Amino acid sequence: MKFLLTIPILVASVVFPIRQITARGQAKDSEAADAARGKQVYAQKCEICHYSASREKKIGPGLAGLMKRETFHNRMKADDENLRRVIERGGKDMPGFRSSLKTAEIRDLIAYVKTL
């Protein structure tokens, strides 16, 4: 009867590593913020309208040094909470990302924008 036990163990030993491989690189709520992942999100969702290396206007203002300033253009204090608000709600000519980005992706994005 011992062989009956080895089947689930075999299955688990195959399925588990596969799940770990597919989960890698995907933002999870429980993890710490990861600026490198945030950079990828930025490339997909923000780069089209915002330069990351300058303050020049593309469609929206360049984000270089954004979080080192006192305030955003709309006079909101430049802190994490307000950056999250801008990303989630968008603005006049910026779409909101509340429903198209996960909480963890926005967290990683904030970590990345702080490096600019």
Q: 23 vs 95, which CB is nearer to ligand HEC?
A: 95
Which token pair is 64?
């270089």
Q: 83 vs 111, which CB is nearer to ligand HEC?
A: 83
Contacts 24+ apart (CB under 8 A), 17-24: none
Residue with the CB atom nearest ligand HEC in the bound state: 91
Q: 24 vs 92, which CB is nearer to ligand HEC?
A: 92
Contact residues for ligand HEC, defined by CB under 6 A: 45-46, 48-50, 59-61, 63, 66, 72-74, 83, 86-87, 91-95, 97, 109, 113
CA-angle at 32, arms to 18 and 62, nearest 5°: 110
Which token pair is 17?
């590593």
